[in-house]
Structure 1
Amino acid sequence: MRALTSRLSRSRAGESKADPAPSRLKYRIQRWMLTPGIRTGLRVGLPLGVLFIAAGSYLASETRRDHLMALYNEARASFETRPEFMVNVMAIDGAGESVATDIREVTSLDLPVSSFDLDLAAIRDLIVGLDPVKTASVRIRPGGILQVDVEEREPAIVWRSRDGLALLDETGAFVAELGQRSLHPDLPLIAGRGADERAPEALRLFAAARPLGSRLRGIVRIGERRWDVVLDRGQRIQLPVKRPVAALERVIAVSEVKDLLERDVAVVDLRLPTRLTVRMNAPAVEDWWRIRQLNESSY
């Protein structure tokens, strides 16, 4: 009995001496595992790392990569070539027959084609790049129709240059070549180098010269600086560099009052805006000198 009691007392003494606290290393490991970043890394980063390693090991083989790429391309092609995504017809509205033919040639679309393979912005740029086209819009309509809406440039003026005759719109943009003047006799005519760049100003001059009626033959750009108004009977109105429209209106007003342009006048010179100079025709000058001599001999 005494021996049993002594053993129990020794075991209790040993238990009282054991330290229940963890060791310093174990404590630091537990605190480290409780860090939010470490916990997130173990929960998310470790599986992702294993996944990346497995994927990298699988894709390390070129044969496997080619096989996956082939599967992807096949799936993509089967999706993009579904009937609801195919474009079968091109419809062009607002363009004449020749312009529509040019549009089909410049776009060079091999229909039917998937809508995923069409760059609508690039197609529009190609169409707008045509000279007769002012604006264009391109869209895909339901039913597999590529709709092209075109606004053509309207010829407003004929430009005669060294290269021949050309049609221009109201801004001076090139529309088309013109074989014969008789094809557009109703359009005003301009000539000279750089005349196309000042087409809007030329149209304002034509509007101001409307009282001249059928006597007006055209307007010539001189030295890329100013205009000459050409009338029948070889008459010219030389306009100044600045404010040519106002100068032309002044000449027409004087002519309506004093019949200036109905006389034997070759040139009305307004290159100096403050001074109007008139040059007579050669026969009129000869008659004037003859009359003057007769008057002097009579005295």
Structure 2
Amino acid sequence: MKFRLSVAGRRLAAVGESLSRLRAPRFATIAALLLSSTALYGMAIGGHTTSVIDTVAQPLGFSIDRIDVSGNGETSEIDVLQALWGTGAQSLPSLDPAAAREALEAMPWIETASVSKTYPDRVEIKLSERAPFAVWQKGRELFIIDREGGEIMPYGAARFANLPFVVGAGAAKNAASFLDQLDVLPELRARVKAYIRVGDRRWDLRLENGVTIRLPEDGAIEAAAEVSRMDRDVGLLSRDILAVDMRIADRMVVKLTPDALVRRDAALKEREKVIKRSAKEKPV
């Protein structure tokens, strides 16, 4: 679509073309720039399209020639520039800082952004990025989440492999508070492979050796501390077990592995044989 410049616009364009050919005295140049910028501001607030303002502003030296970006780590400068150019602005007068900020804050990693203009040709962008906290399994999908449980982006980069792995509905929003409390048990936490949210009410801990610790809805940290104490005392978590169930108050239920069950049953049968044999040999 073509836009027809107003009479004022055509005059400003002519002024810009003249300035590019003539070496005016310093005072005259400054005066021309002030008059031009005032007119461009009037065009901007008057509702002229971005392309119309750019057509007039660029010959006058108001093109965006310098963009300073700070605060970005996960977000590349190329992505920042693409978001900026996506607003359609090619000159400083046509750039809407609020629209640019909105476009930047819509990007996955950016939490807050500020955009400021310095005439005649500079844009400064300051970013604050979201911090990755955990990997969340949501159904069959994996997402990087922040401490508040907000999804940042789909998981796919190996550099996030050491983040805590949380699973299940409600796990994302409850993970930070639970993991913070579990920090009092660093030895146990270091062995956890996955934090599984069950029914959005309680947690299971899946250890790296496959053992599952089923924690109660209330008093979860106290129950985890008891398991940790038993492990220090008798090596509980290194035995042939599948799970330690702490959901019943003041009771620990240990589920054995199939091999351990076979050995236990064999030991019980052997014990029964010994008892029967002893009974037969006992004199009347």
Report the TM range for the smaller structure's normalisation: 0.5 to 0.7
1:220: Cα distance to partner? 1.4
Report matched runs for 1:84-103 at 5 Å. Answer: 87-96=64-73, 98-103=75-80
CA distance in 1, matches of 2:11, 2:175: 56
CA distance in 2, matches of 1:295, 1:72: 106
The answer on whether the counterparts of 2:144 and 2:153 sit within 8 Å (CA) in structure 1 is yes
Q: Does 2:90 match 1:112?
A: yes
1:197: Cα distance to partner? 2.1
Cα displacement string for residues 128-158 of structure 1 (whole angstroms, at most 9, x for unaligned residues): 1212112221111354211111122222212
Q: Which amino acid aligns with 1:169?
A: D
Q: Which amino acid aligns with 2:141?
A: G
From 146, 150, 164, give the equivalent of 1:173: 150
Q: Larger deviation: 234-243 or 270-279?
A: 270-279
Q: Does 2:224 match 1:253?
A: no
Q: Which amino acid aligns with 2:198?
A: I
Q: Which amino acid aligns with 1:283?
A: D
CA distance in 2, matches of 1:258, 1:88: 69
CA distance in 2, matches of 1:76, 1:251: 79
Gaps of 5+ in 1: 1-69
1:97: Cα distance to partner? 7.3
Change (3 A) 1:185 1:86: closer
1:175: Cα distance to partner? 2.5
Change (3 A) 1:252 1:263: same
CA distance in 2, matches of 1:212, 1:287: 28
CA-based RMSD: 3.1
CA distance in 1, matches of 2:108, 2:192: 29
Cα displacement string for residues 146-194 of structure 1 (whole angstroms, at most 9, x for unaligned residues): 11111222222122333433222232222232226x4433222122233
1:75: Cα distance to partner? 8.4
CA distance in 1, matches of 2:74, 2:215: 42
1:265: Cα distance to partner? 2.2
More helix by share: 1
CA distance in 1, matches of 2:71, 2:167: 31
Task: Name the SS for the 1:234 alignment partner.
Answer: coil
* Aligned twin of 1:203: 179
Change (3 A) 1:256 1:290: same
The answer on whether the counterparts of 1:209 and 1:216 sit within 8 Å (CA) in structure 2 is no
* Aligned twin of 2:46: none
CA distance in 2, matches of 1:162, 1:133: 26
CA distance in 2, matches of 1:211, 1:153: 28
Between the aligned residues of both structures, percent identity stands at 25
Change (3 A) 1:160 1:241: same
The aligned length equals 229
Structure number with bigger Rg: 1
* Aligned twin of 1:122: 99
Q: Which amino acid aligns with 1:190?
A: V
The answer on whether the counterparts of 2:67 and 2:123 sit within 8 Å (CA) in structure 1 is yes
* Aligned twin of 2:131: 154
CA distance in 2, matches of 1:123, 1:137: 9
Q: Larger deviation: 242-251 or 255-264?
A: 242-251
CA distance in 2, matches of 1:214, 1:200: 16
Change (3 A) 1:163 1:150: farther
From 248, 258, 270, give the equivalent of 1:282: 258
